[in-house]
Amino acid sequence: MNINALLILLIVVFNAIALKAQITLNNPSFEDEPADATVPMGWFPCAKGTTPDILPGFWGVYSEASEGQTFVGLITRFDGSYESIGQRFSERLDEETCYSFKIDLAQSLSYAGYNEPLKIRIWVSNRKCAKEQLVFESKFIEHSNWKTYDINFTPDFRAKYILIEAFYTEGEINRTGNILIDNITPLIPCSKV
């Protein structure tokens, strides 16, 4: 075997190992036909009354996506209800392994009256739409431009689901707000970052 063939073989093996090490989501950039009250392909609603919007183009939200053509908007309502979406990971997370991923977040200054800033919380679990381990809670997202947030966490168990929810603060008077989400990267072991 010549040196070029050996190098190609090593690159193929390395790429296969790197792909195996990452955990992916289906449609992590929320690409779909823009629509109101519609869950993007690959995702399912989790909270009662969840009617996310595939944006831009509805409710006065005309921002560009941070990646691709569309993104998702989640809201909280005056009656205390909130929206959350989830899906199953491409494979179970390894217990006691640190994972890292990125997510782009923004807030729309105009969202049909749901204009207050919100937080997001991200949970992992072994049951669809369950909140078993909180792995990230943002500060209030008060910027209308997209910003990328780095998330590192270690699951306590071999989780197989993710849940992302719009949130404000426990015990706070209910608020009508929005949060925009786009471009979730694959989860990779922290040591690979």
Per-residue pLDDT, averaged over 14-25, amounts to: 60
Phi, psi (rounded to 5 degrees) for 85:
-130, 160
pTM across the whole model: 0.86
Q: Enumerate the domain spans of the chain.
A: 25-192
pLDDT of residue 96: 84
Q: How far is CA 172 from the centre of its chain?
A: 24
**Nearest residue to 172 via CA among 128, 144, 145, 140:** 140
First to last CA, the chain: 33
Question: What distance in Å separates the CA atoms of residue 28 and residue 120, rounded to the nearest whole number?
Answer: 16
Neighbours of 173 (CB within 10 A): 8
pLDDT of residue 4: 53
The two three-digit tokens of residue 187, written as one number: 């989860």
Is the CB of residue 172 less than 8 Å from the CB of residue 118? no
Is the CB of residue 73 less than 8 Å from the CB of residue 180? yes
Question: What distance in Å separates the CA atoms of residue 76 and residue 92, rounded to the nearest whole number?
Answer: 30
pLDDT of residue 116: 95
In 3-state terms, what secondary structure has residue 150? strand
CATH of 25-192, one of 2.60.120.260, 2.40.10.340, 3.30.230.10, 2.60.120.680: 2.60.120.260
pLDDT of residue 44: 96
pLDDT tens by residue, 51-101: 999 999 999 999 999 999 999 999 999 888 999 999 999 999 999 899 999
pLDDT of residue 171: 66
- Token pair 């200054």 is at which residue? 109
**Nearest residue to 190 via CA among 147, 142, 135:** 135
- β-bridge pairing 116-117 and 177-182: parallel
In 3-state terms, what secondary structure has residue 139? coil
pLDDT of residue 183: 97
| Element at 21 (helix H, strand E) | helix 3-21
Question: What distance in Å separates the CA atoms of residue 110 and residue 114, rounded to the nearest whole number?
Answer: 7
More confident residue, 50 or 21: 50
